[in-house]
Amino acid sequence: MKIDILSLFPKMFDGFLNESIIKRAIGNDKVTINIIDFRQYTKLNNNQVDDTAYGGGSGMVIMCDPIVSALKEIKQADSHTILLDPKGSLYSQKKARELTNYKHLILICGHYEGIDERIKHYVDEVICIGDYILTGGELASMIIADSVVRLLPGVITESSLDSESFNEGLLDYPVYTKPRVYDGYEVPDVLTSGDHKKIAEYRKQESIRLTKENRPDLWEKYHE
């Protein structure tokens, strides 16, 4: 897979690209990730990419042209272009799995007061990562890239992916490691019993409990 991320702040991605699973995935040729500073595509003096909003209001708005010019250069027939915007559809694990089917993803990071609304004529979909506001789309693009890359074949073991939260519509069960007793807190006896059937039942019930307590919205969908 190839992922191109359009941003005005490429240095924000230095740690993201050079640590942990993403670094290994790049090193193992599972994915190629390019950070493209779309400021270099502006045709205006002083590298200007934004201007005041029609109708007034605070802040500056990013113009379409620098981004569209970048898209014209990098977009291919099999590209899937995503605008990161609070007005988009809410991101989910299901969407992350859908995105693994594309060979080339293009993620567009907004900033300031956003991007000229007409940019939506040049993208395939608009995604929001949650009901809150960030200073820009960079962190959102990292979240999407990370959640997609880790699902690519060979990046993480299939057994690890199978037991994760959201795969069955429930949150993941609690996990423990050594020592068995820490500061007076003990590992549940069932997990050391060796009875795999009881362990599976316990984990399922814990997933249900945690989902009911922490994500009633997920529980309602699962229960239906």
CATH number, domain containing residue 190:
1.10.1270.20
C-alpha closest to that of 48 among 69, 35, 70, 66: 66
Q: Which of 149, 171, 186 is the last residue of a domain?
A: 149
Does residue 155 belong to any structural domain of this protein?
A: no
Computed over every residue of the chain, the mean pLDDT equals 93
Exposed, middle or buried by CB within 10 Å (0-12, 13-18, 19+), for 211?
buried
Highest mean pLDDT among 20-24, 112-116, 211-215: 20-24
Task: Name the DSSP letter for residue 142.
Answer: H
pLDDT tier at 180 (50, 70, 90 boundaries)?
Answer: very high
Which of these three, 149, 182, 206, is where a domain ends? 149
Range of the domain at 171: 163-223
Instruction: Please indicate, yes or no, if residue 60 is contained in any of the structural domains.
Output: yes
Counting every residue written for the chain, the total comes to 224
Q: Which two tokens stand for residue 213?
A: 């307590």
Residues 109 and 12 in one domain: yes
Indicate whether 19 and 88 sit together in one domain: yes
Residue 34, pLDDT > 70, answer yes
- H-type helices in the chain, by residue range? 14-17, 20-27, 64-74, 93-99, 138-149, 158-162, 196-214, 216-223
pLDDT at 58: 85
Number of domains into which the chain is organized = 2
CB 100 within 8 A of CB 152: yes
pTM for the model stands at 0.87
Domain-located, residue 154: no
The pLDDT of 156-177, averaged and rounded, is 76
190 and 79 within one domain:
no
What's the average model confidence in pLDDT over 204-215? 93
Question: Is the domain of 145 the same as that of 167?
Answer: no
Residue 198 lies in a domain: yes
Residue 213 domain flag: yes
Q: Which residue, 105, 123, 149, sits at the end of a domain?
A: 149
Q: 175 and 143: one domain? A: no
CATH number, domain containing residue 6: 3.40.1280.10
For residue 24, is it within any domain? yes
62 found inside a domain: yes
Co-location of 48 and 111 in the same domain? yes
Q: What is residue 35's predicted lDDT score, i.e. its pLDDT?
A: 98
Residues 138 and 195 in one domain: no
Does some domain include residue 157? no
